[in-house]
């Protein structure tokens, strides 16, 4: 077996395993995918996950062109991303809280039936992840450690490792959402509603935290 073949096999299983492990500690996009799974089923939750992974794929491409370094070197751009992400995530969480707390109006404001941009699961996942500065910092960190090792292994092993890494992240999110979709049928509707409400609060809290952190970064920048 050639050295290249061994590298490709290693790239496959290491990439898949790394991606699954990375997906387990869920961020705002992961929590949003679980919320959509509870509200609309596994397919809706996976659409959110797919949207967030598309943003991750963009980050991987941007890393190769060296454009993500702008976020690290430009403080105003960094602050802008923190605050923009905070506003979008908080608004999504706020809408979710209103939908859960007002069951009478739920049919009219059901996020699964409305056609506005932030009520589409795939776009939701993409917007939450692409505006989240932690996503970009995460990929910048990963690119200087794990990804950097595979970049030096050659173009083909690097490409396969990156694809398997993203695939592993999707598998991890799929398993989480699948378990949620199976488990929610065991609970009573009232308990599921409370769980959905807490997830909505968590999303809104993420957004508020990001916005406040952006303000803090802006204050520090002008000291």
pLDDT band at 134 (very low <50, low <70, confident <90, very high): confident
Give the lowest-confidence range in 111-115, 121-125, 146-150, 174-178. 111-115
Rounded CA-CA distance 190/196 in Å is 10
pLDDT-above-90 percentage for the chain? 18
**Mean pLDDT of all residues in 57-62:** 82
pLDDT band at 108 (very low <50, low <70, confident <90, very high): very low
CB-based burial of residue 192 (10 Å sphere; 0-12 exposed, 13-18 middle, 19+ buried)? Answer: middle
pLDDT at 62 over 70: yes
pLDDT at 171 over 90: yes
- pLDDT (0 to 100) of residue 73: 66
Rounded CA-CA distance 70/51 in Å is 23
Rounded CA-CA distance 49/177 in Å is 9
Rounded CA-CA distance 124/52 in Å is 8
Cα angle for residues 58, 74, 92 (degrees, 5° grid): 55
**Mean pLDDT of all residues in 174-187:** 77
Rounded CA-CA distance 22/20 in Å is 5
Average pLDDT of the chain is 77
Rounded CA-CA distance 2/20 in Å is 28
Q: Is the entire prediction scored with pTM above 0.85?
A: no
**Mean pLDDT of all residues in 196-201:** 73
Tokens representing 54 are: 């598309």
- pLDDT (0 to 100) of residue 112: 47
CA distances from 45 to 48, 51, 57, 155 (A): 5, 10, 19, 33
Roughly what angle, to the nearest 10 degrees, separates helices 155-183 and 28-40? 40
pLDDT digits (tens, 9 = 90+) for 34-51: 889 888 889 999 999 999
């Amino acid at each position: 077996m050639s050295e290249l073949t061994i590298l490709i096999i290693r790239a496959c299983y290491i990439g898949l395993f790394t991606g699954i492990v990375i997906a387990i500690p869920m961020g705002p996009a992961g929590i949003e995918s679980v919320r959509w799974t509870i509200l609309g089923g596994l397919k809706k939750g996976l659409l959110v996950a797919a949207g967030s992974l598309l943003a991750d794929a963009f980050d991987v491409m941007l890393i190769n062109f060296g454009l993500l370094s702008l976020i690290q070197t430009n403080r105003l751009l960094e602050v802008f991303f923190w605050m923009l992400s905070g506003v979008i995530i908080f608004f999504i969480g706020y809408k979710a809280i209103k939908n859960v707390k007002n069951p009478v109006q739920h049919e009219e404001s059901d996020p699964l039936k409305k056609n506005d941009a932030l009520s589409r699961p795939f776009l939701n996942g993409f917007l939450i992840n692409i505006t989240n500065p932690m996503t970009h910092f995460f990929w910048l960190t990963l690119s200087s450690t794990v990804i950097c090792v595979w970049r030096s292994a050659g173009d083909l092993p690097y490409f396969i490792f990156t694809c398997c890494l993203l695939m592993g992240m999707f598998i991890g999110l799929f398993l989480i959402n699948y378990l949620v979709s199976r488990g929610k049928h065991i609970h009573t509707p009232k308990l599921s509603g409370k769980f959905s409400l807490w997830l909505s609060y968590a999303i809104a809290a993420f957004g508020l935290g990001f916005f406040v952190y952006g303000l803090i970064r802006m204050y520090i920048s002008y000291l």
